[in-house]
Amino acid sequence: MRPARVRRALAAAALCLLPVTACGADGGEPAARPGPARASSASPAPRAADRAAEFTALERAYGAHLGVHAVDTGSGREVAWHADTRFPYNSTFKALLCGAVLKKHGTGAMDHVLRYSREDLVANSPVTEKHVATGMSRDALCDAAIRYSDNTAANVLLTELGGPRALGALVREATGDRLTRMERVEPLLSRWTPGETRDTTTPRRLTADLRAYTLGDVLTTPRRQRLNGWLSRNTTGDATIRAGVPKGWKVADKTGTGSYHGARGDIAVIRPPGRAPLVLTLLSYREERTAEADDRLLAEATRVVVRALG
């Protein structure tokens, strides 16, 4: 997609002021997919309306559904767009997985080696496929799962915890998350189609979970530092949230990509110089089953968030 087309779409959408409710929670039970903004008799705040126009323009320009939730942990200000709508989380869950591993075992037990066989290898396992003979430590598996999105590494860690639903229970106990539905392993969890609730969450919920593990008191300081270190050295996110922040801002993130519908997401702790961190979740998908993801959508959405939160 040409940048000029995006700029034209943004300019066109800026002519329409959408209701502020479109930027907040979708009322009632979270839906399986984004719906149209509801009408409101109240006049929207200009800045909220501007953000709504920009996000709408991005959805139109990229032919995608977009979910956004960001919070400035210093001021408490938020940016939200379809923030309470369900989206597939894909491999972003690996950040929560390794947070749960750290909480259960502590940094002292992360050197314990877990074994797996060649039959356990699944697609996109660039690190684990090299260590079948020796196995890998919990620490190395988390490093591979987060920094390289290694699917077998995630599955080995999931198996030790008791499976996806056991992970869901651990996350719920740690963060109070009763919304995220963890049901399948990799790569099956990436095979989401619109309307499904398996392996989904909402942007608002995922932001809260990431914040709890990376900045909150769910983990002790050494464990929290270990998790943030993996996220800071992630190798898969240079074209998404990192591409949308100003120079000098540090990003610790975990991306996710679906098998169908161009599903793409990124979750991040963003550290602007001299101020409190921002926590950002971006989730997206397209209607066509064979559509491909476009990282520029997430980079552009990040720029909207940065402008809004300053």
pLDDT in tens, 18-65: 333 334 433 333 444 444 333 333 444 568 889 999 999 999 999 999
- C-alpha 36: how far from its chain's center? 23
Torsion-angle region of 248 (φ positive above 0: left; ψ -120 to 50: alpha; else: beta): left
Q: Is the pLDDT of residue 7 over 80?
A: no
Q: Is the pLDDT of residue 198 over 80?
A: yes
Number of other CB atoms surrounding residue 198 within 10 Å: 15
Q: What is the amino acid identity at position 261?
A: H
As a whole number of angstroms, the distance between CA 82 and CA 68 comes to 6
- In this structure, is residue 9 part of a structural domain? no
The length of the chain in residues reads 310
In degrees, rounded to 5, the angle at the alpha carbon of residue 58 between the alpha carbons of residues 46 and 69 is 65
Give tens-digit pLDDT for 216-237: 999 999 999 999 999 999 999 9
Give tens-digit pLDDT for 268-308: 999 999 999 999 999 999 999 999 999 999 999 999 999 99
Give tens-digit pLDDT for 144-176: 999 999 999 999 999 999 999 999 999 999 999
In degrees, rounded to 5, the angle at the alpha carbon of residue 158 between the alpha carbons of residues 295 and 93 is 25
- In this structure, is residue 34 part of a structural domain? no
Q: Which domain range does residue 75 map to?
A: 64-309
- In this structure, is residue 41 part of a structural domain? no
Give me the active site residues, please.
Answer: 91
- In this structure, is residue 37 part of a structural domain? no
- In this structure, is residue 204 part of a structural domain? yes
Provide the Cα torsion 193, 199, 205, 211; round to 10°: -120
pLDDT of residue 182: 99
What residues contact residue 111 under an 8 Å CB cut-off, 6+ apart?
137, 138, 139
- In this structure, is residue 188 part of a structural domain? yes
- In this structure, is residue 52 part of a structural domain? no
- In this structure, is residue 15 part of a structural domain? no
Query: How many folded domains does the chain comprise?
Result: 1
CB of 123 closer than 8 Å to CB of 187: yes
Q: What is the CATH number of the domain that holds 138?
A: 3.40.710.10
Residue 131 pLDDT grade (very low, low, confident, very high; cuts 50, 70, 90):
very high
Q: Is the pLDDT of residue 2 over 70?
A: no
Q: Is the pLDDT of residue 211 over 70?
A: yes
What residues contact residue 248 under an 8 Å CB cut-off, 6+ apart?
272, 273
Residue 310 pLDDT grade (very low, low, confident, very high; cuts 50, 70, 90):
confident
